Amino acid sequence: MEKGLLNLLNIGFDTPIELLIDKNNIPHKFRDCSFGNYIPDENYPSQQEAKEKLIEFVSSLNEYNKSGFYSKFTKKLLKRRKKPKSIYIDGGFGVGKTHLLSAIGNAYHGKVIFLSFSQLMYLIAYFNLLPLIEKISKFDLVLLDEFELDDPGDAMMGINFIREINKTDTVIVATSNTTPVALGGREFDMMVFKERIGSLINFFETLAIDGKDYRVTKAPKTQYESSKKTLKELFLGYKTNGRGKLYAEFGDFIKTIKDIHPVRYINFNEKIDAVFIENLRKFTDDELLDALRFTYLIDILYYGSVDIFISTDIQLWDMFSDDLKDGKFKNKIMRCLSRIAEKGVFVNTAS
Ligand SMILES: Nc1ncnc2c1ncn2[C@@H]1O[C@H](COP(=O)(O)OP(=O)(O)OP(=O)(O)O)[C@@H](O)[C@H]1O
Ligand SMILES: [Mg+2]
């Protein structure tokens, strides 16, 4: 088989799980994000303020973890005094939270791990909290994107994670996953965060970023496209860029992601520039778990800048049953739809 043409059997998901943790560095999509190319909107001074605060944070963290000539003991004493405060960045859609989070990671000289909140949940489920803390505390800095407050159980797990991490030398910068400010959502989310996190709030400095969705105002138009070609033609014609391309039937695809643990999905981002899914059909009410795995995978692919091509005889919006779209995991499902809409190419096979 031509190099770079992958199917579900030869993609390979067998990286030792311990190594997968180290693969969680700044995602492909955000790897070029810096403070320099974050352009604050003059109409929203909180953007410039956040940028300055975060630049300051990175330099104090660099200072804190700098290896110097102090003895280990003195360094420990100094460290205890000066450990920089963790930061919680709150703001509406597309104001550049993940950009800034990645800029921090790119500017910091030490060991950093980038995780989405969903990834963290799967890692805790896989390793259990304390063994995971032991692995994560070897990093100086945890960048935790999209802290979700809507599910109290998950929020509690996240908060327990923060509590344990705070006992170590590791510092966290988290971003929120908030509802639009226009709906009064942000103040509410901040309140819920503060309430859920209780006294741990003292470990955090909170930064609120106002503004408009950059994707809508500045970024090139990214509505999903329809294609007249067949999916196979698109697959064969797609030029890869350093990684491979994967073609699979929807049914086989869902079966594969069911059989491997979601902590391994990150392998897709290592291996492919594009995925081609043939014959997607609707997720029905009783396929919640499959639907959630799929939405999680789309999150991962989005971070990995993996192009998504789908053939189907339904509309994007109808991909999930109404009950799924309206249910407990509404946010995850809506995020998935918007991410596919941003990146996806659709081949309509309806006759
Ligand atoms: N001020 C800015 N200057 C330059 N690029 C920006 C700025 N704000 C956002 N972007 C770019 O716009 C896109 C969306 O930003 P980003 O993903 O960081 O927003 P977000 O606040 O994390 O959104 P979401 O709430 O959807 O997670 C990214 O490609 C990012 O690089
Ligand atoms: Mg984001």
Q: Which atom of ligand 1 is nearest to the CA of 33?
A: 31
d(CA 124, CA 222) in angstroms, rounded, equals: 34
Q: In total, how many domains does the chain have?
A: 2
Q: What is the pLDDT of residue 183?
A: 42
Same domain? 66 vs 164: yes
Is residue 25 in some structural domain? no
The answer, yes or no, to whether residue 46 has pLDDT greater than 70, is yes
How many CB atoms are closer than 10 A to CB 34? 13
Same domain? 201 vs 229: no
User: pLDDT of 130-143, one tens digit each?
Assistant: 999 999 999 999 99
CATH number of the CATH domain containing 253: 3.40.50
Q: What is the pLDDT of residue 9?
A: 79
Is residue 120 in some structural domain? yes
Whose CA is closest to atom 5 on ligand 1? 38
Is residue 131 in some structural domain? yes
DSSP H helical segments within the chain, as ranges?
A: 17-22, 45-65, 72-82, 97-107, 117-127, 129-136, 152-166, 185-197, 214-217, 231-237, 250-259, 266-271, 288-303, 322-326, 330-343
Is residue 21 in some structural domain? no
Whose CA is closest to atom 31 on ligand 1? 99
Residue closest to 6 by CA, chosen among 276, 265, 308 = 276
Q: For the residues 273-293, what does the mean pLDDT come to?
A: 96
Is residue 166 in some structural domain? yes
Note down the domain range covering 250. Answer: 5-16+220-348
Residue 42 is encoded by which pair of tokens?
């003059």
Which amino acid does the sequence have at 24? Answer: N
The answer, yes or no, to whether residue 322 has pLDDT greater than 90, is yes
Is residue 23 in some structural domain? no
Helix, strand or coil, per DSSP, at residue 29:
helix
Q: Residue 73 C-alpha to ligand 1 middle, in angstroms?
A: 42
Low-confidence winner among 202-206, 256-260, 323-327 (lowest mean pLDDT): 202-206
Residue 37 is encoded by which pair of tokens?
């190319």
Q: Residue 96 C-alpha to ligand 2 middle, in angstroms?
A: 7
Check: pTM over 0.85? Answer yes or no.
yes
Of 170, 196, 217, the position where a domain reaches its end is 217
Torsion angles phi and psi, residue 273, rounded to 5: -90, -25
Same domain? 11 vs 74: no
Of 217, 238, 267, the position where a domain reaches its end is 217
pLDDT bin (cut points 50, 70, 90) of residue 78 is low
Q: Residue 102 C-alpha to ligand 1 middle, in angstroms?
A: 10
Same domain? 241 vs 211: no
Residue closest to 174 by CA, chosen among 198, 201, 214 = 201
Same domain? 257 vs 120: no
Same domain? 139 vs 153: yes
Of 217, 247, 266, the position where a domain reaches its end is 217
Q: Which atom of ligand 1 is nearest to the CA of 30?
A: 31
Same domain? 65 vs 191: yes
- In this structure, which ligand is nearest to the CA of 178? 1
The answer, yes or no, to whether residue 288 has pLDDT greater than 60, is yes
Residue of higher predicted confidence among 206 and 300? 300
Same domain? 11 vs 82: no
Is residue 337 in some structural domain? yes
User: pLDDT of 221-266, one tens digit each?
Assistant: 445 667 788 999 999 999 999 999 999 999 999 999 999 999 999 9
Q: How large is the greatest C-alpha to C-alpha distance in the chain, in angstroms? A: 74
Which of 35, 90, 99, 217 maximizes ligand 1 atoms within 8 Å of its Cβ, making it the mutation to test the pocket?
A: 99
Same domain? 213 vs 224: no
Residue closest to 200 by CA, chosen among 175, 169, 166 = 166
Q: Residue 239 C-alpha to ligand 2 middle, in angstroms?
A: 28
Residue of higher predicted confidence among 1 and 260? 260
For the chain, what is the mean pLDDT?
A: 87
